[in-house]
Chains A and B, each alone.
Chain A
Amino acid sequence: MITINEITIVRDGREIIYDYSEQIPAGSITAIVGPNGSGKSTLLAAIAGDIAPVKGTITIDDLHPILTSPAQLAQIRAVAIQNQSYTLGFSVQQIIEMAGLAQDVMQALELTSLVDRQVTTLSGGEAQRVSIATAIAQSTPVLLLDEPLAAQDVGSRKRIIQLLQKLAEGGVTVVVVAHSDEADLTWADKVIKQLL
């Protein structure tokens, strides 16, 4: 269970999120939707422990992400950021194995044909799928994904959603940031629309 308790987040002097509370149940998929600049990625980053609220608290079960060591946090939550870029020419398999076992997740996301490809040569959609696969390979109880469906074709979107649903059924808490253009959100158990 992720508990967000009356948080306010300020970035560059601007209140992005104000006095916001929410509970995200374990073993479910929650979609955070909204237009650009609405604070959805900021909320995800706060849950991930990347940024601290100026007021209020966020807990994953009993742990405060911002007060937890990076190594311990990596056992609890995994994150796929938007627009992951790769500078060094590792293979797809090498990248995923930096997080954990690669085989199953590569099959599930149909990355097996790319196993030896250098990540520096991937398209945007392929790189995003590698980023999602890396987060899933971390095998954490909480999975945070920033716009994982943005650059995907219909087939890839379907596969990603099916995999997330399977993970949620297995007890993983999945939080997905989705753009407000996303028409079909039936795959989410809960949709968060208003952050301010």
Chain B
Amino acid sequence: MKKLVPAIALVVASFIAIYVGAVQIDNFWAALISPGSNEILWQIRIPRVTAGLIVGASLALAGLMAQGACNNALAEPSILGTTAGASLGTVLAVLTGVVQVGSIGAIVCGALGALAATSLTFKLASLRSQLSSFALIIVGIAVSAIFTAIVGLLSAMVTRADARSISFWNFGSLALITRDNLIGITITAIIGGAIAWKISPSLDRLSLGDATAFHLGEDVPRVRLIALVALSLLAGGAVSTVGSIAFIGLAAPHIARFLYGPTHRRLIAHTAIIGALLVVVADTLSRTLAQPGELPIGLVTSLIGAPVLIALVSVKNNVWKTQ
């Protein structure tokens, strides 16, 4: 029963998220079972909460892929440069007029940017010697900083509304989500999730180190590449649609591991549920705490995710041993 708490909490949080907002919805339950009956409910809140669920699950799974592929507790999309790469890919495509934010084209560009940045991090980290966790994190932070700076410069230099603001790319927002936006991120979430499911036994073996994983029959570079593709699809889809949302990719896999153990195949569903829960709760708080204004969701996820992470590290556990 205890293990079902995140799933039950997610259902409850989703209903609360749909219910609360700047405008009170009359006959809420009746409107909920009649699709299209209430415009605010069906055109704004339900798409927004659905996007929150998909984005949360995607970012959480992206974090699981990053940590599994790197065998590193600190790895997550923003540290490997994936998030910044997705932002840059999307911003460049939007500014050149190729795509609009939230379109499937933007998601493709975001995923390509994410893959390019993550591959660059891996390539630079393994230039001098075998890939090490330390080199990966240091290079990832540097690549992320460069890509983030370019996004900031581009955002500051142009006045086009669809390039949105620096704040959007740094802290994310679900405010402009429409039903049409849901198609693209649903596709990337399903494909990314399916790839993650497929390679999860290989990620278990990767946790034993590259040498032992190879001895057990794993083609380590191939597994890592597939994980990077999944990571890029998941993070690229999410970031190109709602901007960067911090901490989900780092915190959700760790919370799931603490509750359910380290087996990746079991973690796929649990990590996605916890990520979705964190984003839905954070988004509800971000649009209700400062009404009629809205707080950037990334600030709220940081405020929720960071203490949870600190609490997990403080509680004695042997789920992830750091050297």
Q: Which residues of A contact B (CB under 8 A)?
A: 48, 50, 69-71, 73-75, 77-79, 81, 84-90, 94-95, 98-99, 118, 120-121, 131, 134-135, 138
Contact partner of A98 among B73, B216, B323, CB < 8 A? B216
B72 nearest in chain A by CB position: A87
Q: Which of B187-228 contact A (CB under 8 A)?
A: 201, 204-205, 207-209, 211-212, 214-220
B207 nearest in chain A by CB position: A88
- Contact A99:B211 (CB < 8 A) given known A88-B319, A89-B261, A120-B321: no
Complex CA gap A9/B279 in Å reads 53
Q: Is the CB of A84 within 8 A of B321?
A: no
- Return the CB mask of B14-34 against A: 1 if under 8 Å, else 0: 000000000000000000000
Q: Is the CB of A78 within 8 A of B215?
A: yes
- Contact A74:B217 (CB < 8 A) given known A84-B208, A84-B209, A87-B71: yes
Q: Is the CB of A118 within 8 A of B318?
A: yes
Contact partner of A70 among B214, B261, B263, B320, CB < 8 A? B214
Verify if B105 is at the interface (C-beta below 8 Å from A).
Answer: no
Q: Which of B168-186 contact A (CB under 8 A)?
A: none
Complex CA gap A127/B207 in Å reads 15
Closest CB of chain B to A145's CB: distance in Å? 11
- Extra contacts, 14 of them, besides A85-B321, A120-B319 (Cβ < 8 A), are A50-B211, A69-B219, A70-B219, A73-B217, A79-B215, A86-B321, A87-B73, A87-B322, A89-B320, A95-B208, A98-B216, A121-B318, A134-B212, A138-B216
- Contact A88:B209 (CB < 8 A) given known A48-B215, A74-B217, A138-B216: no
A144 nearest in chain B by CB position: B215
Complex CA gap A78/B322 in Å reads 27
B73 nearest in chain A by CB position: A87
- Contact A85:B323 (CB < 8 A) given known A70-B217, A71-B217, A121-B318: yes
B204 nearest in chain A by CB position: A98
Closest CB of chain A to B271's CB: distance in Å? 14
A50 nearest in chain B by CB position: B211
- Return the CB mask of B263-279 against A: 1 if under 8 Å, else 0: 10000000000000000
Interface residues in B, total, Cβ within 8 A: 28
Contact partner of B320 among A78, A84, A88, A134, CB < 8 A? A88
Complex CA gap A120/B214 in Å reads 21
13 pairs, A vs B, C-beta closer than 8 Å: A70-B214, A74-B217, A84-B212, A85-B323, A88-B257, A88-B321, A89-B262, A89-B319, A90-B207, A90-B262, A90-B263, A121-B318, A131-B212
A91 nearest in chain B by CB position: B261
Closest CB of chain A to B59's CB: distance in Å? 21
Closest CB of chain A to B60's CB: distance in Å? 17
- Return the CB mask of B228-261 against A: 1 if under 8 Å, else 0: 0000000000000000000000000000010001
Q: Is the CB of A85 within 8 A of B209?
A: yes
Q: Is the CB of A50 within 8 A of B318?
A: no
Q: Which residues of B contact A86 (CB under 8 A)?
A: 207-208, 321
Complex CA gap A18/B323 in Å reads 36
Q: Which residues of B contact A88 (CB under 8 A)?
A: 204, 207, 257, 262, 319-321
Closest CB of chain A to B130's CB: distance in Å? 12
Complex CA gap A181/B176 in Å reads 70
Complex CA gap A134/B71 in Å reads 20
- Return the CB mask of B285-323 against A: 1 if under 8 Å, else 0: 000000000000000000000000000000001111111
Q: Which residues of A contact B215 (CB under 8 A)?
A: 48, 74, 77-79, 81, 135
Complex CA gap A169/B208 in Å reads 30
- Contact A89:B321 (CB < 8 A) given known A84-B209, A98-B205: yes
Q: Which residues of A contact B214 (CB under 8 A)?
A: 50, 70
Closest CB of chain A to B45's CB: distance in Å? 39
Closest CB of chain A to B75's CB: distance in Å? 12
Q: Which residues of B contact A95 (CB under 8 A)?
A: 208
Q: Is the CB of A90 within 8 A of B318?
A: no
Q: Which residues of B contact A79 (CB under 8 A)?
A: 211-212, 215
Q: Which residues of A contact B262 (CB under 8 A)?
A: 88-90
B323 nearest in chain A by CB position: A85
Closest CB of chain B to A65's CB: distance in Å? 11
Closest CB of chain B to A84's CB: distance in Å? 6
Closest 6 CB pairs of A and B: A74-B217, A120-B321, A88-B262, A79-B215, A120-B318, A88-B207
Contact partner of B216 among A50, A85, A99, CB < 8 A? A99
Q: Which residues of A contact B322 (CB under 8 A)?
A: 87
Closest CB of chain A to B209's CB: distance in Å? 7
Closest CB of chain B to A69's CB: distance in Å? 7
